[in-house]
């Protein structure tokens, strides 16, 4: 390999790493900001975005923590209904929306629920939940997910036109996964790649 080609490859790698770190920093800064500023206005529903349903044979705390955050919004009187969005997990065949429903009921939530059990991605969470909510007369929504996920979710909301249909706010779920360094690291690794992938669509 010639010295010029070697320098070019190292330069390209450096640009990639700097871009990756820049996106990661932006995601985490936004995550902390959303955590510090929870929703203040009441909405018709909380839309809880799906995640892997089970981990190590138990309901995934990354998912159930999001449900808990949605229940907290309902208890605070900020939403009237919970919407759970998530389809079949490739890992174990469980339907995320149904796992969320069981956890909510087991946690004592007795309010109205709406399930969207087919979506496989964040964009599909929005595109498949939207018509169901419109059919139910929903005009305002609080989107619930983990802090590191919300920067990407916001851009998908804007890029898909979801926020032209609904008045949208965001709630960061301070799950145990968010609080564990392992999942924080996973979020930092995964989100920049997912952001670049989503950018291709918009």
Per-residue pLDDT of the chain (202 residues), as tens digits, is 677 666 666 766 666 666 666 667 777 787 888 888 999 999 999 999 998 888 888 888 889 999 999 999 999 999 999 999 999 987 778 999 999 999 999 999 999 999 999 999 999 999 999 999 999 999 999 999 988 889 889 989 999 999 999 999 999 998 877 666 555 555 666 655 555 555 545 5
DSSP 88: B
Q: 85: which strand partners?
A: 49, 116
The candidate with the shortest Cα–Cα distance to 25, out of 192, 200, 198, 193, is 192
pLDDT of amino acid 157: 96
pLDDT of residue 32: 84
Q: How many CA atoms lie within 13 A of 103 on its CB side?
A: 25
* Tokens matching residue 88: 């079949």
**Cα–Cα distance measured from residue 66 to residue 97, given in angstroms and rounded to the nearest whole number:** 12
- Position 185 scores a pLDDT of 55
pTM, rounded to two decimals: 0.83
CA 49 to chain centre: 5
Q: Which residues of 183-202 are buried (b: 16+ CB within 10 A; e: fewer)?
A: bbeebbeebbebbeebeeee
Mutual orientation of helices 3-36 and 147-160 as an angle, nearest 10°? 100
């Amino acid at each position: 390999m010639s010295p010029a080609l070697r320098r070019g490859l190292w330069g390209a790698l450096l640009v990639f790493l700097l871009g990756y770190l820049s996106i990661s920093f932006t995601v985490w800064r936004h995550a902390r900001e959303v955590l510090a500023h929870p929703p203040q206005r009441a909405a018709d529903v909380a839309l809880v975005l799906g995640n892997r349903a089970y981990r190590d044979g138990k309901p995934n705390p990354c998912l159930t923590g999001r449900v808990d955050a949605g229940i907290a919004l309902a208890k605070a009187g900020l939403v009237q209904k919970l919407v759970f969005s998530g389809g079949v997990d490739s890992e174990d065949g469980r339907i995320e929306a149904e796992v969320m429903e069981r956890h909510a009921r087991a946690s004592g939530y007795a309010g109205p629920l709406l399930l969207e059990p087919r979506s496989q991605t964040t964009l599909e969470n929005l595109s498949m939940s939207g018509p169901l909510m419109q059919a139910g007369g929903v005009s305002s929504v609080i989107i619930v997910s983990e802090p590191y996920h919300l920067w990407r979710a916001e851009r998908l909301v804007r890029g898909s036109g979801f926020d032209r249909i609904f008045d949208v706010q965001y709630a960061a779920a301070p799950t145990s996964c968010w609080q564990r360094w392992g999942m924080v690291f996973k979020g930092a690794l995964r989100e920049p790649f997912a952001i670049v992938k989503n950018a291709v669509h918009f």
